[in-house]
């Protein structure tokens, strides 16, 4: 006899008991939750609250992908990434994607298609990233945030495949966005 999926799922859910905000920052907040586990015991969960973000795979009319190279302080490295940024309070992801694309690359897109929405690391954060494919690009002026320093670079399809195969694209949203884009071609 097969057990209904809802009954299985209910046996996996943790129930909240209490929550305490332990840090409030400009970009993230951190809280400590106490939960009841499915076996009846209690456990502590530390949660990084994030407003969410977008990432954009811009593809030019001639098939080149636009990436940005920037230094990431938390890991102390330069990374090659698709343009991305956090959602402002009350901002729709589509609007954020258009804004970040223009700020970071100097391009606007006539077509913008959401291809995925992913949780980055659900074991400790609620951060969600909405990934877009941008086409029909028109060049404008790049205007990154005042604390943002990046270089815009262009890669053809074969170069992207080589970078992915060699493990040189270490940013997860970038790797996933590029793989999804390739699967749509």
Q: Please list the active-site residues.
A: 146
> What does each C-alpha distance from 102 to 66, 97, 106 come to in angstroms?
12, 9, 4
User: What is the distance between the alpha carbons of residues 161 and 148, in angstroms, rounded to a whole number?
Assistant: 27
Angle at 107 between CA 92 and CA 27, to 5 degrees: 40
Cα 72 to chain centroid distance, Å, stands at: 15
- Give the CB-side neighbour count of residue 7, counting CA atoms within 13 A: 3
Return the ∠ at Cα 127 (arms to 26 and 80), rounded to 5°. 90
CA of 29: how far to CAs of 89, 130, 173, in Å? 14, 20, 22
């Amino acid at each position: 006899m097969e057990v209904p999926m809802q009954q299985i799922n209910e046996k996996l859910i943790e129930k909240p008991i209490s929550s305490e905000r332990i840090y409030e920052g400009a970009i993230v907040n951190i809280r400590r939750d106490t939960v009841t586990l499915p076996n009846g015991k209690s456990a502590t969960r530390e949660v990084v609250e994030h407003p969410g973000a977008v990432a954009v795979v811009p593809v030019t009319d001639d098939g080149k992908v636009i990436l940005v190279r920037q230094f990431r302080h938390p890991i102390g490295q330069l990374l090659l990434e698709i343009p991305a940024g956090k959602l402002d309070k009350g901002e729709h992801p589509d609007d954020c994607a258009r804004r970040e694309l223009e700020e970071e690359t100097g391009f606007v897109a006539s077509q913008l298609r959401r291809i995925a929405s992913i949780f980055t690391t659900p074991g400790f954060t609620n951060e969600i990233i909405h990934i877009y494919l941008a086409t029909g690009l028109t060049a404008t002026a790049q205007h990154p945030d005042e604390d943002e320093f990046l270089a815009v670079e262009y890669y053809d399809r074969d170069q992207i495949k080589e970078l992915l195969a060699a493990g040189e694209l270490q940013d997860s949203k970038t790797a996933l966005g590029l793989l999804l884009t390739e699967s749509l071609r």
